[in-house]
């Protein structure tokens, strides 16, 4: 299968003995840069998807179609394995099944399904969780929707910072029993919490943002953390660069005086210009 190697790459990370940091990617250029720099995995977060596609904050406005299409664009542009944040699966358990099918077809190496109540409930300012039973149903539906057995499905919960650590462990163990390939935790703020989670579960762990005291890769690896996210700095950097460039131009700066622009060599590399020219010579008879 065309995406099998990417999924096996993600599986090898999860079954390995190291903790790796993925590169945050969100479009064709960013995934090519991450691939060229040697990242072992790309992370396509829900927040960056919303920013890149809609220009909106991360409040579950992006649709499955938009998310899958952006993933499809990245899959065409590069062969880097990508883990996709599929949020709540865009509805109930039946919607989750469809979400898995669409992201699998779009080339995702793996995806996460979380038990957060999304979209935000009327009149509720604080983040809420769905029931454990509904969460289990979503995990079962995700696994049932998988056509390629190598596609990685992770059960995700933020219960540690929403309800309690005990609830996070209970949910993780229930999702583990469903047969997911790994467990994704957000809201973990102390080593004692991660120690308890590692002790109570058996699957590979993916960790969302965490404080500095939990940044040691050897410690994380010893607690079965195989992937540790480090935020989405690339899109923040890109936003600032575009803002600064447009502001300078608006204020009268000459394009030749602008700083920090991609060189012609870098642009040619990330657009695969040499490959495109070679194809042009081969099939269009174009001269050098």
**Distance (Å, rounded) from C-alpha 247 to C-alpha 29?**
23
pLDDT tens digit sequence for 18-30: 999 999 999 999 9
Question: Which long-range contacts link 124-128 to residues 24+ away (Cβ below 8 Å)?
Answer: 126/162, 127/158, 127/162, 128/162
Average pLDDT value for residue range 258-279: 94
pLDDT tens digit sequence for 51-60: 999 999 999 9
The yes-or-no verdict on residue 82 having pLDDT over 70 is: yes
**Distance (Å, rounded) from C-alpha 206 to C-alpha 156?**
9
CA-to-CA separations, 25 to 84, 129, 236, in angstroms, rounded: 10, 27, 11
User: From the CA atom positions of the chain, what is the Rg in Å?
Assistant: 20
What's 260's DSSP letter? S
The yes-or-no verdict on residue 288 having pLDDT over 80 is: no
Average pLDDT value for residue range 259-263: 93
pLDDT of residue 287: 82
Average pLDDT value for residue range 140-156: 98
The yes-or-no verdict on residue 195 having pLDDT over 80 is: yes
Average pLDDT value for residue range 6-19: 98
**Distance (Å, rounded) from C-alpha 162 to C-alpha 114?**
13
pLDDT of residue 1: 64
The yes-or-no verdict on residue 210 having pLDDT over 90 is: no
**What percentage of the chain reaches a pLDDT higher than 70?**
99
The yes-or-no verdict on residue 48 having pLDDT over 70 is: yes
How many other β-carbons are positioned within 10 Å of the β-carbon of residue 55? 8
**What percentage of the chain reaches a pLDDT higher than 90?**
94
Give the pairing of strands 42-44 and 182-185. unpaired
Q: Are 142 and 113 spatial neighbours (Cβ–Cβ below 8 Å)?
A: yes
Average pLDDT value for residue range 136-153: 98
Closest to 54 (Cα-Cα) out of 32, 26, 25, 90: 26
**Distance (Å, rounded) from C-alpha 175 to C-alpha 140?**
9
pLDDT of residue 212: 84
pLDDT of residue 5: 97
The yes-or-no verdict on residue 174 having pLDDT over 70 is: yes
How many other β-carbons are positioned within 10 Å of the β-carbon of residue 150? 19
Mean pLDDT score of the chain, rounded to an integer?
96
Domains annotated on the chain, with CATH: 4-232 (3.20.20.60), 238-284 (no CATH)
Average pLDDT value for residue range 169-181: 98
Closest to 137 (Cα-Cα) out of 192, 175, 104, 81: 175
């Amino acid at each position: 299968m065309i995406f099998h190697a990417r999924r096996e790459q993600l599986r090898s990370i999860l079954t390995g003995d190291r903790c790796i940091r993925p590169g945050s990617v969100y479009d064709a250029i960013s995934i090519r840069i991450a691939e060229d720099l040697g990242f072992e995995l790309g992370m396509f977060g829900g927040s960056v998807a919303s920013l890149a596609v809609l220009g909106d904050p991360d409040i579950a406005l992006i649709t499955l179609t938009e998310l899958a299409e952006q993933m499809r664009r990245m899959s065409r542009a590069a062969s880097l394995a990508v883990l996709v944040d599929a949020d709540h699966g865009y509805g109930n358990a039946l919607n989750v099944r469809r979400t898995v099918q669409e992201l699998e077809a779009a080339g995702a190496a793996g995806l996460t399904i979380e038990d957060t109540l999304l979209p935000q409930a009327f009149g509720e300012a604080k983040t809420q969780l769905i029931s454990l039973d509904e969460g289990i149903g979503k995990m079962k539906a995700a696994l049932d929707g998988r056509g390629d057995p190598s596609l990685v499905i992770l059960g995700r919960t933020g219960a540690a910072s929403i309800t309690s650590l005990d609830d996070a462990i209970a949910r993780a163990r229930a999702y583990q029993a469903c047969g997911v390939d790994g467990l994704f935790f957000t809201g973990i703020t102390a080593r004692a919490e991660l120690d308890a989670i590692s002790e109570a579960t058996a699957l590979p762990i993916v960790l969302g943002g965490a404080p500095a005291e939990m940044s040691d890769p050897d410690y994380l690896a010893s607690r079965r953390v195989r992937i540790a996210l480090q935020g989405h700095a690339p899109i923040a950097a890109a936003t600032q660069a575009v803002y600064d460039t447009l502001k300078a131009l608006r204020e009268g700066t000459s394009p030749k005086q602008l700083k920090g622009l991609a060189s012609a060599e870098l642009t040619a590399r990330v657009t695969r210009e040499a490959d495109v020219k070679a194809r042009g010579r081969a099939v269009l008879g174009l001269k050098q």
